[in-house]
Amino acid sequence: MFQLNQRQCAAFLNSEMSNTIVVGAQWGDEGKGKIIDFITDKSDLVVRAAGGSNAGHTVINNGQKYILHLIPSGILWENKLCVIGNGVVIDPFGLLEEMAKLRSQGVKISPENLVISETAHLVMPYHKALDRAREAKLGDKKIGTTGRGIGPAYADKIERGGLRAVLLTQPEVLEPELRDRIIRHNETLAAAGVEEVPVEETVKAVLDAAAILAPHITNTVVVCHEAIQAGKSLLFEGAQGTYLDIDHGTYPFVTSSSTTSGGACTGSGVPPRMIDKVVAVCKAYTTRVGSGPFITENDAIGDMLHNMGREFGATTGRARRCGWLDAVLVRYAVMINGADELAITNLDGLDGLETIDICTAYKLRGKVIQYPPSTVADIELCEPIYETHQGWKQDLSQIKKFADLPPLAKAYLKRLEVLTGARISLVGIGPDREQTLTV
Ligand code: IMP
């Protein structure tokens, strides 16, 4: 017989209580920041569980634009607790800069609303130097990283040589450990013919940053579990996207963390059985920054979107590569993430088009395939199979209700549901919080 466990009973009795993971269904930049901000209302805690300051979440609220890199977007709300979980890699200087910028925009930040996991790893200046040196060495085979030191920091973590955030609360332990790491990494930098990181200057700067950040550092696993026991709702703010995931992405053109829903659990210490819902965010077309395969890439769409002032990266300012919506990727992302719902963003980006293509399958060596192949070499051999839809040729940005969308826009969305197997719950038609339609 079907029985609810204690948690499910409580969730059933209190329909407001639910733990939700939001992930990107493509290569990042899907507009997760805006969707997360839209559903933060129903959450008490907003948790980041993977990535670092390579992420750039843009939230526009009352005409004011906020760009968040490491800090969960819940910080823009009063009475939300923001958690930077153990799966995140933290650049203390980047974090302080972000805090200062947000404070200058009137955002309040204190240990009361921002806590950082003791076991999150630190991104140090030598990681950034190594990131840049590696990319330079790769030449035209480069990954196109954000240069934020993400790969080298995760490499140190996995190799068991990293420094964890708890050390920011223990300066006497941090100081010799940090000096040791700088000297060791400087050997690698010197061997690569790259400028070394100044030892004493860096140690002093990190200790100064540590003194400011220490009050925020705590056991965030306990924070999350106590909140769940108290009946609170957690929102996991995904960073990057499914195809930048270290396991499921277009390796090696990926980031170095688990960006899919499973990563939200390992990166926070909240187990899968406490997750109630997964929302995958997906642009109405596709974009990617950095190198790597992109089957539906289309320069004409890129030119159109760039001319509209859209699709420039929030972290690096780079013009994003653009193309048609690839339903093969989104279908597979729905599967990997266990997505219950899709939030479609940037539908208004397609407003001016006569016709709109959707890639429904690929042809690889003469065979039609429904899921992306595993190697870059095979992905590069795939030909997209498109179906063409008639465009709605109407400005959607002022529409207030889903029901008022033009029938052709609704038909496009309906087709996406069929092709991907997930229900569309939200539709974005502009950057503002208000330009989000509930389905
Ligand atoms: P890294 O994360 O800086 O090592 O970069 C690895 C790849 O992930 C590069 O192609 C980046 O452009 C991409 N990437 C990292 N973070 C983001 C993001 O937040 N949005 C989009 N692409 C990202």
* Ligand 1 neighbours by CB, cut-off 6 Å: 27-29, 54-56, 143-146, 148, 150-151, 239-240, 244, 253, 255-256, 289-290
Q: Report whether 297 contacts 289 (CB < 8 A).
A: no
Q: What Rg value do the Cα atoms of the chain yield, rounded? A: 22
User: Residue with the nearest Cα to atom 20 of ligand 1?
Assistant: 28
Residue 180 CA to its chain's centroid (Å) = 32
Q: Which residues contact 326 (CB under 8 A, 6 or more apart)?
A: 26, 286, 295, 296, 359, 384
Tell me the best of 23, 135, 146 to mutate to test the pocket of ligand 1, counting ligand atoms within 8 Å of each CB and taking the most: 146
Q: Report whether 40 contacts 292 (CB < 8 A).
A: no
Q: Report whether 435 contacts 429 (CB < 8 A).
A: yes
CB neighbour burial string for 70-83, b if at least 16 within 10 angstroms, e if fewer: bbbbbbbbeebbbb
Ramachandran sector of residue 365 (left: φ over 0; alpha: ψ -120 to 50; beta: rest)? left
> How much is the pLDDT for 6?
54
Ligand 1 centroid from CA 150, angstroms: 9
State the burial class of residue 53 (Cβ atoms within 10 Å of its Cβ: 0-12, 13-18, 19+): buried
Q: Report whether 115 contacts 81 (CB < 8 A).
A: yes
57 is catalytic: yes
- Record the tokens describing residue 327, joined without a space: 């339903």
**Can you point out the beta strands (E) in 69-223?**
81-84, 89-90, 114-117, 121-122, 217-218
29 is catalytic: yes
CB neighbour burial string for 96-134, b if at least 16 within 10 angstroms, e if fewer: eebbeebeeeebebeeebbbbbbbbbbbbbbbbbbbbbb
DSSP state for residue 198 in the 8-state scheme:
P
Ligand 1 centroid from CA 27, angstroms: 8
> How much is the pLDDT for 109?
97
Map tokens 């059933």 to a residue: 12
Ligand 1 centroid from CA 52, angstroms: 10
- Record the tokens describing residue 294, joined without a space: 């992109």
Ligand 1 centroid from CA 239, angstroms: 10
Tell me the best of 22, 58, 244, 257 to mutate to test the pocket of ligand 1, counting ligand atoms within 8 Å of each CB and taking the most: 244
Strand order across the beta sheet in which 341-345 lies: 217-218, 114-117, 81-84, 45-48, 234-237, 20-24, 277-283, 341-345, 423-428, 436-438
| 29, 37, 156, 348: the active-site residue | 29
Q: Report whether 434 contacts 426 (CB < 8 A).
A: no
> How much is the pLDDT for 13?
46
Closest ligand 1 atom number to CA of residue 318:
12
Q: Whole-structure pTM over 0.85, yes or no?
A: yes
- Tens place of pLDDT per residue across the chain (439 aa): 344 455 544 544 444 569 999 999 999 999 998 899 889 989 999 999 999 999 888 888 778 889 899 999 999 999 999 999 999 999 999 999 999 999 999 999 999 999 999 999 999 999 999 999 999 999 989 999 999 999 999 999 999 999 999 999 999 999 999 999 999 999 999 999 999 999 999 999 999 999 999 999 999 999 999 999 999 999 999 999 999 999 999 999 999 999 999 999 999 999 999 999 999 999 999 999 989 999 999 999 999 999 998 999 877 788 999 999 999 999 999 999 999 999 999 999 999 999 999 999 999 999 999 999 999 999 999 999 999 999 999 999 999 999 999 999 999 999 999 999 999 999 999 988 889 999 9
Phi, then psi, of 53 in degrees rounded to 5: -85, 15
Q: CA angle 46-55-214, nearest 5°? A: 60
**Amino acid sitting at position 119:** T
Ligand 1 centroid from CA 244, angstroms: 7
> How much is the pLDDT for 261?
98
CA–CA dist 90, 252 (Å, integer): 22
User: Residue with the nearest Cα to atom 11 of ligand 1?
Assistant: 145
Ligand 1 centroid from CA 158, angstroms: 19
| 37, 44, 57, 131: the active-site residue | 57
Q: Which of 235, 58, 256 is nearest to 145 (CA)?
A: 256
Centre a 10 Å sphere on the Cβ of residue 14 and count the other Cβ atoms it contains.
Answer: 11
Q: Report whether 385 contacts 365 (CB < 8 A).
A: no
Ligand 1 centroid from CA 222, angstroms: 30
> How much is the pLDDT for 2?
40
Q: Report whether 162 contacts 153 (CB < 8 A).
A: yes
Closest ligand 1 atom number to CA of residue 55:
19
> How much is the pLDDT for 3?
47
Closest ligand 1 atom number to CA of residue 146:
3
Closest ligand 1 atom number to CA of residue 145:
5
Q: CA angle 64-66-71, nearest 5°? A: 150
Map tokens 């990727």 to a residue: 329
User: Residue with the nearest Cα to atom 15 of ligand 1?
Assistant: 54
Tell me the best of 255, 258, 294 to mutate to test the pocket of ligand 1, counting ligand atoms within 8 Å of each CB and taking the most: 255
Altogether, the residues listed in the chain come to a count of 439
